[in-house]
Structures are given as C-alpha cells and as structure tokens.
Amino acid sequence: MSYETFRYPGLNLGRAHPEAHDAAETLMFGFWVFMMSDAILFGMVFGTYVIQLDATAGGPGPRDIYDIKSVLIQTMLLLASSFTFGMASLSNKHKGSPPRLLAWLVVTLLLGVGFLVFEVRDFLSMFDMGAVPSRSGFLSAFFDLVPLHGLHVTCACIWLICLVGQIARYGLDTDVKLSVMRLALFWHFLDIIWIAIFSVVYLAGLA
Amino acid sequence: MNAAAIIEQPLGRLGMDSLPFWEMLQHPTEENLINGFIGGGAACVVVIGIVVVCALITFFGKWRALWSEWLTSPDHKKIGIMYVVVALVMLARAVIEAILMRLQQAVGLGGGFLAPDHFAQLFSTHGTIMIFFMAMPFLIGVINYVMPLQIGARDVSFPVLNSISLGLTAAAAMLVMVSLVIGQFSTGGWFGYPPYTETAFTPDVGPDYWIWALTLSSVGTTLTGINFAVTIYKERAPGMTLMRMPLFTWTALCTSILMIFAMPPLTVATAQLALDRYLGFHYFTNALGGNMMNFMNLFWLFGHPEVYILILPSFGIYSEVVATFSGKALFGYRSLVLATMTIAVLSFTVWVHHFFTMGQSANINAVFGIASMLIGIPTGVKIYEWMATMYRGRVRLTVPMVYAIGFILLFVLGGITGIILANPAIDYQVHNTVFLVAHFHNVAIPGVLFGLLAGYHFWFPKVFGFRLDERWGMISALCWLFGFMLAFFPLYALGLMGLPRRTVAYFNPAYQPLEIVAFLGALLIGCALLALLIQGWVSIKHRNENRVFAGDPWDGRSLEWAVSAPPPEYNFPVLPVVNDADAFAAAKEFGVAYQQPDEFVDIKLPRNSAMGPVLGGLGFVMAFGLVWHIWWLVIVCALGTLAAIIVRGFARDTVQTVPASVVKEEHGRWLDAVQHAAAISRAAECDPANEGLAEQGAAGATS
Amino acid sequence: MSEQVHYPDEQARDQRGESWTVFHAAIAPLKREEKMRAQRREQRQEFWSYCWGLVLALVLTLVPFAMVYWAVLPRFSLLIVIGVFALAQIIVHIRFFLRIGVRQKREDLQLILFSALLLIIMVAGTIWIMFNLADRMSMPMHP
C-alpha cells in the first residue's frame, strides 16, 4: 500500500483531516458522475449532428463555413489552458501559496476567454455568410453542438472568476481547494469534448 | 424578442383568452359550455385548493414552521415525505382525469361530451403526470426516506442538492397545475411527438408547458440520481458491503444509474424541440432538413430506461415486503441482485421497440425485438424468487402483502403481453391500439403503483410512528386490484378489435359494452383512491392507539427498523456495524439489537439552506415566463439563479452540531420505551398491542 | 500524531480499504526529511506528467490536422486516421490530465468504462437506426 493509493490525486489537505478527505472523495466522485451524465448529453448532441450532416437543404455545408485556421487557434488555446490548469492543480496540491495558484488560474481564465472570443468571432462570420441555425437541419445541429460546448466553457469561466473571489475572501481553505479540483476535472473534461468536436465536426467535415 | 416587444407586451402572450372559461363566455355553444365548465371547474379546484391550504397555514400560524422545518430542511426524511405528498396530490388529479376519459369513452359512440382538444389535453396530462409527477416523485420520495436508513447513513451525500432536486420537481409539477388555470396543456400526448408539437401545427402554449415541465423535472431527477448513486457508493455503514445491502437499496442503486444515464437524452430532445419552437431551428420540422424521427429515437432512448427507473424500486419494495411478511430471508438474494443489474443494463438496448413501425429495416426490428424479449428472463427469475420466498414462510396477508400477491398475478399477464408486443410482426398489427394501452397499464399499475402503495403502507409506521388502518387499507387495495382488472382487461379485447388509442369518439357499436365495463373499473379505482383518503383520516384519528415508537412493527429485517419510529434527525446515534445481510434480523437473532453504545459523539448535520425553494421558485417563474414569452421575467430569473448559485459558493458555515448529550438522552428515551414495550407475536401484528417490538424465537417460518 | 485520534467512521473506511490509520502508521516512521523528499519527488513526477500530456496532445492534434490540411490521403482513410488519433488523444487526456490510472483503487475508471459502454450503445444505435431509416426513405443524410 503506497502513499498514492490512499489519497485522491490532486488533493493535499494535510494529513490531520481524514474526515475532510472522506468528504473530498464523495464530492469528487459525485462530480465525476455528473460529468459522465453530461458526457451522455454531449453524445446525444453529437449523434444528432452526425445524422443531420447532409441535411443542408441547399444551404451552406461544412466546407463553406468552417475556418480551419481559427479552429486550430481555438484548439491550441484550449490545450494550453488545460496545461495551465494542470499547473494550477499542482500549486493547489503542493504549494500552500495563493499567489502562484491565483496566477495560474488567471492565465487559464485568459486562455479560456480567448477561446470564447475566437469561437464567437467564427459564429459571427458564419452568420454573415447566411449560415444561421434556422437555415437548415445541418446548421441547427452545428449550432446545438459547438455552442453547447462554448456554453460549458463560459460556465467554467464564471466558476473560475467566483473561485478567484473566494480565494480573495477566504484564502486557500478546504472548500476552495475542493472547488479548484472539481473545476480542474471539468476543465479537462471540456477539453476532451473539444477533441471530439475538433475531430468529428471540423477535421472530418473538411476531410 | 427585441426591446420594443418587451415594452409593448410586458405580459407576452398572456391575455384574457388564456382563462379556461373565456371561450365558453365568448361562444356559448353547448359543447363549449360543457367543456368550459369542466375546465373551469378543474381550475377552480386548483385555485380553491391553494387558497384553502394557504388559509389553513395562516390560521394555524405555521408559515415559519413550514419554511424552517420543511421547505429549507436538508433532512432526507423530510424531503422524502414532501416528494410523496407531491406525488399523492398529482395522483389524485391524474386518476380523476382517467375517470373522465373513461366516461367520455363509455358514452363516446358517435360523439360523447368532451371536445377533441379537451380530450387530448386529458390524455396528455394524465400520462405526463402519472410518469413524471406521480410515479417519479413517489419512488424518489420512498428511496429518499428509506435508502439512507437501510445502508446505515446519516443522510444522503449531498443533502442541499437533494432539496434543490425537490424544488425543481415541485416547480415542474406546479407548472402542470398552472396549465389548468392559465392557458392549456399540450395535446400531443405524454411523449409530445413532433412535427405535431412544432409551432407550425400547435402554435399555442400547450407544448411549451410540456417542454418546460419535463425539462425542470428531468434536471431535478438527474441530480437525484447522482445523489443516490454516490450515497450508496460512499455512505454505507461499516461492514455494509455491496452484497449485504438490502434489495431495495440495490434497486435504488440501479434506478439511480438509469436516471443518471437516461435523463440526458430527454433533456436533449426537449431542448431541441424548444429551440425549434422558440428560435426557428430545424431539428424535427418538416421543412429544411428537419428529421422528426430523431425525436422518437432520443425520446425512447430515455423512455425505455425510464420504464425501469419506475419499476425497479417497486421490485425492491416487493422484495422487502415479501421477505418481511413471510418471516424469511429473501430467496436467491444473489440472483435477484444479478437480475436487477441485468435489467438495468438491458434496458438501454431495447428502445426501438417503441417505434417498430417507423420504417427502419426488419433486421433492426429483429435485433431490438429479441433484446426486448430477453428482459423477460431476469424478470421471470424475480417472480419465481418472490414465490419461493413465500413458500413455507409465515405469510401474513397484510395490506402490503395483498398488493404484492396481486402484483405477482397481474404482472405476469402484463409481462406476457409485453413479450407478445416485443414481436415486431405482432406489433405492426396492434400498435397504436388500446391493446398497447392495456399492456403498459398492466405493467405500470401492478408493477409500479401497487409497489409504491405497498411501500407506503409498509413504511408509514416508520415515518410517522403509527400504523395505518388495516381495514380501510384492505378495502382500498381490493378496489385497486379489481378496479384495475375491470378497467384494463376489456382494453385488450378492444385493442384486438381495432380500437385506436386516444380516440375521443368511435362509430362501431361493438366497442361500447366493453367501454362501459372499463368505465366501471375506473369508478372502482376512484373508490380505491377515496378509501385511501378515508384510511388516512381514520388512521390519524386513531393514531394514539396504533403507536409503534419502538420502531419495529413488522419484525423487519433491515436497518431502518433498528431505530425509533419516527427516527431521530441524525438517524443513528452511532453508526451501526454490519456483519451480515439482513442486518437487523441477524442482530435480533443473536440478541444484540437495541444496544446502548459505549460512548456518544457530537453529530454533524447540514444546516438548513434556502437553495431548494429559491431555485425551485426561480425555475418555476422562469418556465412560466418562457411559456408565455415574458422575456424580462426570464432574464430576471436566469440572473437570479446564477446569483443564487454564486452566493451559495461563498457560504462556509454549512454544518450544525447535535451535541453528544442530546443524542444520549434521546437514545436513552427510546431504549426505555423498547424495554417497556410488550413483544408481540406475528399474529398480533395488526393489533393495538403492537408497540413496535417483535417477539423473537416464536413459531415462524420453517426455513 | 493524528493516529491516536479516534474517528467514529474509521471502521467504515477500513471496510472499504481506505484506512487512514493504516496510512498514518505506514508514514509515521519516516523521518520528516524523507517525507519532504517523497513529496517533492511526487510533485516532480506530476509536473512531468502534465508536460508529457501536453506534448503528446500537441502531436496528436497537429498530425491529423496537417493530414487534413494538405489532404495527404483519400477521404475514407483520412476519416479513420482522424478517429484513431482522436481516440488516442482522449486516452492521453484521461491519463495525463485527469490522472486516471489503471492501478488506482477508485471507482472512477469503472465509471468511465461503464459510461463509455452506454455512450457507444446510445450513439452507435442512434446512427445505425437513423442511417438505416434514411436509406429506406431516401432522405438526404449520407456523409
């Protein structure tokens, strides 16, 4: 039985608080279950997208509206933000110092907001081309799937801002630490969803 | 949807014509008058009901108590009770609607008295309510109350989330009730198939009510599922391994897993329909690449597991009831667990049997037909095991047992017609006839409702500390049983004769005799509901004679019987240690029940939180705003919801402590009562002599 | 230090194999110095795990991107390559960012696998049924 097997990875609340660790296990497991439920939600939206792929009704199709360079930038921003959140998790776990954690969180937030800015810019240019959701079944499905992910990222960003507020108010207490851990899971999970979007929607759409 | 529209129409689509009697006043034809009186009468019942309840609370000065002891309470027991109250209120409404529909059909030869639109609303609300606002809250309530006690936990894992789930479910139920008073409900059936429910064909508010009621309740249910599953995984008492859990807890676990994974497709389906209706998307429209068949696919991806969400907890209740009232351990516990798990997983592989006639190839139908038939195997295993449990047991024909035996007889019939319907070739012949209606009522009423009512009678003494009146309970149970048979067996024949479901009127006189029989059955079910009410009244009146404070009126087998009735707020003064399946039965057998622990410690409990009622209230108002296109209200509520969640994130002082001394004192009082109670034999179970202490080592089961 | 404290729920953790007492007993004999060193080592390992994750993810993103951008393969082969790389990248993210390993005594991995099973049943079923229907109904739905 090694050190690692006893402890939730990413958590270091000090060894004097086993009860807090128990509560953490429950919280993290609960959040995992929630994410899996969310994954099913995304799965069904992906399914809808795939079966609506050719229902363009004479309107613009994937090749007409996807801007692959912008998408690559979004992908890189999100990937970088996943890494910086990993760094934030490390400071959350090992360094008791709020400034380092705060710095990584703010960097992550900026990357997340940058992603959203590029995404919204893409949507607006699609609208300019007449590719609005009410144009066809395909566009409806596209504007269900990709903005749903964007909405999740927006929620994650709001959560991040609240976390910064909580750190300012309470410092690095147990609740904040647990919150950072859950948000980290959520953030990495959204990155995985983005891999699927990047591959299924954009790469496959342009292949 | 711009700023100007908000100022010009601050109430959106809401107007005088939204009132149920408006049409009657404008065009007083005979049909409009009848339907107006029925609709207006129903609305009046809702309004008067709310006014009376509010007046009573004010009269007794209970508003503060209602808020601080009930609505904001994170206690799983109180939340469970509130769920069941919601379910019983909705049950009453849906049964009355059913009787009205049966009456219409009984006189429906060539017309009847209800307008087609009114009839369509009746079957849509009846189905929606029975599934989402009767069966679901009922079973969630029962699980909420019983499951943490059975696994020896203090509460569920996330008590405040539990309260939020209740708030959302109650908000959704209120939305359905409001649709009686303002505007109308959907006419698209409980599954609201597009394109009929699209704006092009149903521009009114009906489908919007349906969409938001379902969305609110499905979010609430998903959260409940997460909560229950995590609780069962993480909060079990020491020694309570998975294979020592009572079977009801097992079924609760499987149901929670189904809720977690089956609710998202429903959320997607209703959200996409909402996008179609509100923003002109094209998921399910006829034009511009919409694909309405995908709605069926999504809906039944949820809908079929939903069937098992409903029925598995009832299977669990039957298992507890049959074992307890036979005085024996459950026969074949392991295979029952396995069967439950198998059903849960298989339930995700059969959804196409709800739309065999959609137009997909025969190969697909064959695959899903075979998968559907496979479910009969684990279910059959269960039936045999309940019977084997009774075999040579000390069987007592109490009310729950009557429900259980009635269930076994009737459910087999329902199951067999299910196997018949699982054959695509036969399904092509009888789909969309009342044969199907007969089939699913035949599994849903004995399977789900009887189980929940059996659970209601079984655990009522635990919850409120006194037994229910046995005589009125028996009358009610028999009325349910025979009412069900009269109401639905004729429908099998009618279905084979070709009567389509959901027809407001028919023109073949051969249908009428059987329709009248079915109506009599519906009346009998109405009597059953009445008897249930009377039973409640009588039982409350005689509550002091039927107290079972010692907590074990039925010689129970699992941990919920090992505490006082009603249980203390913290459930267990010291968390129990489990060494056996049927933990409490084993403890009694070895004489180690009712122990005084060596030491008591302070118990930490969650503080009350207003999150449940606040989010529920905001959700309700937001849904109302969405239905009536009152956009400013929607925006205000959305911001309010976000603000509430953020503020909650800043809350820190969320735990309260029950001091060890209080725990010790309460526990001592209970142990005193147990010592002074007279242990009764199983023959005196329904006697006032039953104080909740069971005689041990008496003549009982033979194995 | 804390192993003397009595926790009422201790036995619950024992039964689930999560005993903190065992953990304290195992770690107590170590000197403080060693503990610090173990922690630093762990921290370094985790840091490199995230770095590895980033590098692998970058490669797995950029290779299919380049293949699509310069269209080096016929369409069908490209789709397969995209699918394989996406799957690999998802596993990399789960392993290096979400830090789910096969050796951990936690329910997370089982949960993920079970969810993946249901996801496959639901999504593949949807696609199978709806494409079959489209075939038979001559609906415009072919990728």
DSSP letter assigned to residue B132: I
Q: Which residue of A has its CA nearest to B298?
A: A44
Confidence check: pLDDT of B6 > 90: no
Interchain proximity A162–B230, CB inside 8 Å: no
Q: Which residues of C touch B283 (CB under 8 A)?
A: none
Band of residue C22 on the pLDDT scale cut at 50, 70, 90: low
- Dist CA B278 CA B413 (whole Å): 44
Domains in chain A, please, with CATH? 68-207 (1.20.120.80)
Which long-range contacts does B369-377 make (Cβ < 8 Å, 24+ apart)? B369/B422, B369/B423, B369/B424, B369/B427, B371/B346, B372/B418, B372/B422, B373/B419, B373/B422, B373/B423, B374/B346, B375/B343, B375/B346, B375/B347, B375/B350, B376/B415, B376/B418, B376/B419, B377/B342
Predicted confidence at residue B9, as pLDDT, reads 78
- Cα angle: B506, vertex B512, B516; to 5 degrees: 125
**Nearest to residue A108, comparing CAs of A16, A187, A24, A11?**
A187
- Measured N-to-C along each axis, helices C75-92 and C32-69 cross at an angle, to the nearest 10 degrees, of 170
Q: Cα Rg for chain B, rounded, in angstroms? A: 26
For A93-140, how does the pLDDT look when each residue is reduced to its tens digit (9 = 90+)? 876 678 889 999 999 999 999 999 999 999 999 999 989 999 999 999
Q: Which residues of B touch C140 (CB under 8 A)?
A: 289
Confidence check: pLDDT of B244 > 70: yes
Predicted confidence at residue B101, as pLDDT, reads 94
**Complex ipTM value:** 0.92
Chain A interface, best mutation among B165, B233, B258, B283, by max A CB count within 10 A: B283
Low-confidence ranges of chain A (pLDDT < 50): 1-7, 15-16
CA distance to A33, B235, B405, B439, B485, per residue, from B409 (Å): 38, 37, 6, 14, 11
For B173-187, how does the pLDDT look when each residue is reduced to its tens digit (9 = 90+)? 999 999 988 988 999
Segment 24-53 of chain C within 8 Å of chain A by CB: 24, 26-27, 38-39, 42-43, 46-47, 50, 53
Predicted model pTM: 0.92
Confidence check: pLDDT of C116 > 80: yes
Interchain proximity C139–B233, CB inside 8 Å: no
Predicted confidence at residue C106, as pLDDT, reads 66
Q: Which subunits have 3 or more CB–CB pairs within 8 Å of chain C?
A: A, B
Max Cα distance, chain C (Å)? 74
Segment 198-237 of chain B within 8 Å of chain C by CB: 233, 236-237
Instruction: Name the residue type at position A178.
Output: L
- Cα angle: B120, vertex B101, B277; to 5 degrees: 15
- Dist CA A66 CA A61 (whole Å): 9
**Nearest to residue B142, comparing CAs of B441, B453, B399, B450?**
B453
Beta bridge partners of B109: B506
Pair of tokens at residue A136:
């066809």
Confidence check: pLDDT of B635 > 60: yes
- Dist CA B75 CA B605 (whole Å): 9
For residues B408-425, give the mean pLDDT.
94
- Dist CA B168 CA B173 (whole Å): 9
**Nearest to residue A201, comparing CAs of A28, A53, A33, A12?**
A53
Cβ–Cβ < 8 Å for C50, C61: no
Segment 54-113 of chain C within 8 Å of chain A by CB: 54, 57-58, 61, 64-65, 68-69, 71, 75, 78-79, 82-83, 85-86, 89-90, 93-94, 97-99, 103-108, 111-112
Pair of tokens at residue B600:
């008591």
List all residues 6 or more positions away from B456 whose beta carbon is below 8 Å from its beta carbon.
Answer: B84, B142
Of C16, C107, C129, the CB nearest to B352: C129
Q: Cα Rg for chain A, rounded, in angstroms? A: 19
Q: What are phi and psi of B547, to 5 degrees?
A: -65, 140
Q: Which subunits have 3 or more CB–CB pairs within 8 Å of chain B?
A: A, C
Residues in chain B: 703
Q: Which residue of A has its CA nearest to C114?
A: A36
Confidence check: pLDDT of C124 > 70: yes
The C-alpha of B346 sits at a distance from chain C's nearest C-alpha, in angstroms, of 10
- Dist CA B472 CA B533 (whole Å): 9
Confidence check: pLDDT of B354 > 70: yes
Q: Percentage of chain C with pLDDT > 70?
A: 71
Q: Which residues of B touch C16 (CB under 8 A)?
A: 236
DSSP letter assigned to residue B606: E
Interchain proximity C121–B358, CB inside 8 Å: no
List all residues 6 or more positions away from B332 whose beta carbon is below 8 Å from its beta carbon.
Answer: B381, B385, B388
Interchain proximity A51–C126, CB inside 8 Å: yes
Q: What are phi and psi of B500, to 5 degrees?
A: -70, 150
The C-alpha of A80 sits at a distance from chain B's nearest C-alpha, in angstroms, of 27
For B503-523, how does the pLDDT look when each residue is reduced to its tens digit (9 = 90+)? 999 999 999 999 999 999 999
DSSP code per residue over C35-51: HHHHHHHHHHHHHHHHH
Pair of tokens at residue B78:
């109180």
CA distance to A155, A168, B646, B648, per residue, from A161 (Å): 10, 11, 10, 14
Cβ–Cβ < 8 Å for B389, B331: yes
List all residues 6 or more positions away from B27 whose beta carbon is below 8 Å from its beta carbon.
Answer: none
Predicted confidence at residue B57, as pLDDT, reads 93
List all residues 6 or more positions away from B498 whose beta carbon is below 8 Å from its beta carbon.
Answer: B433, B508
Confidence check: pLDDT of C23 > 80: no
Q: Does A38 touch chain B (CB under 8 A)?
A: yes
Segment 53-92 of chain C within 8 Å of chain B by CB: none
Q: Which residues of A touch B276 (CB under 8 A)?
A: 140
Q: Which residue has the tokens 């953490």?
A: A24
Pair of tokens at residue B513:
């005799």
Predicted confidence at residue B77, as pLDDT, reads 95
Of B230, B264, B283, the CB nearest to A29: B230
Band of residue C6 on the pLDDT scale cut at 50, 70, 90: very low
Q: Which subunits have 3 or more CB–CB pairs within 8 Å of chain A?
A: B, C
Predicted confidence at residue B699, as pLDDT, reads 46
CA distance to A33, B201, B611, per residue, from B306 (Å): 18, 28, 27
Alpha helices (H) in B287-398, listed in sequence order: 293-326, 333-346, 362-374, 376-390
Q: Does B364 touch chain C (CB under 8 A)?
A: yes
For residues B612-616, give the mean pLDDT.
95
Q: Which residues of A touch C130 (CB under 8 A)?
A: 47, 51
Cβ–Cβ < 8 Å for A145, A201: yes
Counting one residue from chain A and one from chain C, the pairs whose CB atoms sit within 8 A come to: 157
Beta bridge partners of B506: B109
Instruction: Name the residue type at position B69.
Output: E
Q: Does A16 touch chain B (CB under 8 A)?
A: no
Cβ–Cβ < 8 Å for B600, B667: yes
CA distance to A6, A29, A102, per residue, from C16 (Å): 11, 15, 36
Predicted confidence at residue B58, as pLDDT, reads 93
Beta bridge partners of B500: B433
- Dist CA B10 CA B527 (whole Å): 46
Confidence check: pLDDT of C8 > 50: no
Interchain proximity B272–A56, CB inside 8 Å: no
Q: What 3 state SS string does C80-111 have?
A: HHHHHHHHHHHHHHHHHHCCCCCCCCCCHHHH
In this structure, of B439-443, B478-482, C38-42, the range with the lowest mean pLDDT score is C38-42
For B528-565, how does the pLDDT look when each residue is reduced to its tens digit (9 = 90+)? 999 999 999 999 999 999 999 999 999 999 999 999 98
Interchain proximity B239–C118, CB inside 8 Å: no
Counting one residue from chain A and one from chain B, the pairs whose CB atoms sit within 8 A come to: 112
In this structure, of B10-19, B664-673, B675-684, the range with the lowest mean pLDDT score is B10-19
Band of residue C103 on the pLDDT scale cut at 50, 70, 90: low
**Which strand (E) or helix (H) includes residue B646?**
helix B631-649
For residues B280-307, give the mean pLDDT.
92
Q: Does C12 touch chain B (CB under 8 A)?
A: yes
Cβ–Cβ < 8 Å for C53, C95: yes
Interchain proximity A79–C57, CB inside 8 Å: yes
Q: Which residue of B has its CA nearest to C6?
A: B601
Confidence check: pLDDT of B702 > 70: no
Predicted confidence at residue B435, as pLDDT, reads 95
For B295-351, how does the pLDDT look when each residue is reduced to its tens digit (9 = 90+)? 999 999 999 999 999 999 999 999 999 999 999 999 999 999 999 999 999 999 999
Interchain proximity C130–B293, CB inside 8 Å: yes
Cβ–Cβ < 8 Å for B468, B535: yes
Interchain proximity B291–C121, CB inside 8 Å: no
Pair of tokens at residue B545:
């004679």
Band of residue B368 on the pLDDT scale cut at 50, 70, 90: very high
Q: What are phi and psi of A149, to 5 degrees?
A: -65, -45
Q: Which residue has the tokens 């060693």?
A: C34
- Dist CA B370 CA B21 (whole Å): 50
- Dist CA B139 CA B313 (whole Å): 7
Instruction: Name the residue type at position A134.
Output: S
Q: Which residue of B has its CA nearest to C14?
A: B238
Q: Indicate the SS3 state at residue B415.
A: helix
Segment 247-276 of chain B within 8 Å of chain C by CB: 261, 265
Interchain proximity A195–C111, CB inside 8 Å: no
Residues in chain A: 207
Distance of CA B38 to the CA centre of its chain: 27
